[in-house]
Chains A and B, each alone.
Chain A
Amino acid sequence: MGTYLKLFRAGFSRQANYRLAMVAGLATNVVFGFIRAAILFAALDSAGGSLGGYTKGSISAYVWLSQGLLGAIDLSGRAEIGERIRTGDVAIDFTRPVDLQTWHLSEDMGRAAYTFIPRGLPSVLIGALTFGLSMPTTVLPYVLGFISIAIGIAIAFYCRFAVNALGFWLLDTRGARTVYMVTSTFLAGLYVPVSLFPGWLQTVALATPFPSMLQVPINVISGKDTGTDALLLVLMQLCWLAVTCAAGQLLTRAGRHKLVVQGG
């Protein structure tokens, strides 16, 4: 356990070195946040003040929380393991006395934890000051919300890990990563909340782990879903956490058998 904690800290402090990248990420987050908030506000006005159960305050909370969490919850298809598989460095990694997936997870959780400071909190703050947002006034949604966010970060990591583990079989994972990124951002509810999807598309989305990465944590921390509903959502997340973790483990194990190292 101590090793993984150290890896978590290493991930945290490594991220702290990229100050300019953080400022750049924040600025981009905020610009996209402005555009998205404007679209959804206009849609809300056009729909007569209520849109898929959202009001002005809650749709704004959805926009700025999702922009703020985007640094931590990585929906891209990129993961460091992909590059290590491509170069063959992964062969050395297999000789280390730690679990490959958990090692990368610990580092990624550290990276994610750091992004809250320069990206997450400022995004939400800027949203609150410019567009205004309604957030819960009790403690419970925040406690459950942070648990839900942590699970969301881990699910997003496990999925990226699995996609990159395909590199054991594919010469080039760029196509797979692009398809993954496009699908994940859309179905996670990054551009339009999942509850605005037509019924059949909501069903499709809920059959994937993607809403559990972003939409669910936002619903829980913003208090859109409370009580038993919120607990059930977190339970659903835990199921996806187990499934995506198992997928990565299986792929890594199969990949290890496939791996041919020169000279051995």
Chain B
Amino acid sequence: MSGLPLAGGRVSPYRAVLASRVRAQRSYRTGFALDLFGSLLIGVTEFAEVWVIFHNVEVLGGLDFHAILVLFGLSNLAFSLADLLVGHLDTLPTYVRAGTLDAFYLRPQPLLAQLVTSEVDLRRISRIGVAGTALVSGLVLEDVSYGPRELTLLAIAIVFGTAIFAGLFVCAASLQFFLINGSELTNSFTYGGSYAAQQPTAIFPRPLKLLFGYLIPVAFTAYLPTLALLGLPGPAGLPAWLAWLTPVAAGWVWLVGMLLWRWGTRHYQVGGG
């Protein structure tokens, strides 16, 4: 064992696992190509849904099609980046049911860090591509003048938007400890959150506006940054300047996530131990 993980410091075990996962995915070329195609198709279809709506209307929730491209691009970019990094936390119930989670407890690293680095799902890359394309097209078509302010806003939105979705995946995984057969429930705020994030929050009735604006703050991932970037006013209760507070929203999601995670792991009883 000497010379292996410990010598390389704290991060090298994680790096070794991740590198092996990347190699594993690349070695089944046909399967990987199909997965990439499937993921591309998911991205394209999500976009087609938006496009079909705009085939029928000019404006939705105060945004025109070019603005919707920015909104769609930002929300999907953040979500698919988070999905790439931590989306596999969704498989936690499988580990719990099969008892294989116990093996993770035996290793001298934090459980969450191990689970996060246990996989990196490279097929999401094509969805990231679709989102990036939509974002860039929207930004070019909207004719915004790009200064330091705009670039900072974009960077904040992408980095902390990803953090918000990643935090939601952690919240979802924590609840899985209690809901082994009810894992679909947590889809309502991971996938549901992503679906809500790509809509102009202004279209929602008041309770949903508060839900997606503050409690599960997905409006911060794309809608508010889009408003701030394009210089549009927000609806009542969600002014555009809130876009600068996206890091705070991410902090809130992670605070809840970490509390739920502690609660969940304490609830979990190792089988046969």
Chain A residues in contact with chain B, CB under 8 A? 18, 20-21, 23-25, 27-28, 31-32, 34-35, 38-39, 41-43, 46-47, 51-52, 171-172, 174-176, 178-179, 182-183, 185-186, 191-192, 196-198, 201
Contacts and interface: CB of A to CB of B under 8 A. Distances in A.
A38 B199 CA distance: 9
Nearest to A193: B52
B31 A175 contact: yes
B247 to A, nearest CB: 26
Contacts of A175: 31, 34-35, 37-38
A201 B53 CA distance: 13
A32 B196 CA distance: 9
Given A35-B192, A42-B203, A175-B38, A24 B185 contact: yes
Contacts of B39: 178
Contacts of B182: 20-21, 23-24
Interface in B46-96: 48-49, 52-53, 55-61
A175 B192 CA distance: 23
11 contacts: A21-B182, A24-B179, A34-B204, A35-B192, A38-B199, A38-B203, A38-B208, A42-B60, A42-B200, A171-B31, A178-B42
B187 A52 contact: no
B192 A28 contact: yes
A39 B53 contact: yes
A18 B181 contact: yes
* Highest count of chain A CB atoms <10 Å: which of B31, B52, B183: B52
B203 A41 contact: yes
Contacts of B196: 35
A185 B42 CA distance: 11
A192 B60 CA distance: 15
Contact of B184 (A25, A176, A178, A186): A25
Given A28-B187, A38-B205, A182-B42, A47 B48 contact: no
Contact of A178 (B41, B60, B192): B41
A31 to B, nearest CB: 4
Contacts of A28: 184-185, 187-188, 192
B109 interface: no
Q: Which 9 pairs from chain A and chain B are nearest by CB? A: A175-B34, A178-B38, A24-B185, A24-B182, A42-B203, A31-B188, A20-B182, A46-B57, A24-B184
B208 A35 contact: yes
Given A21-B181, A32-B188, 15 more contacts: A18-B181, A23-B182, A31-B188, A34-B208, A39-B203, A46-B57, A46-B58, A46-B59, A178-B35, A179-B38, A182-B42, A182-B45, A186-B49, A192-B53, A196-B55
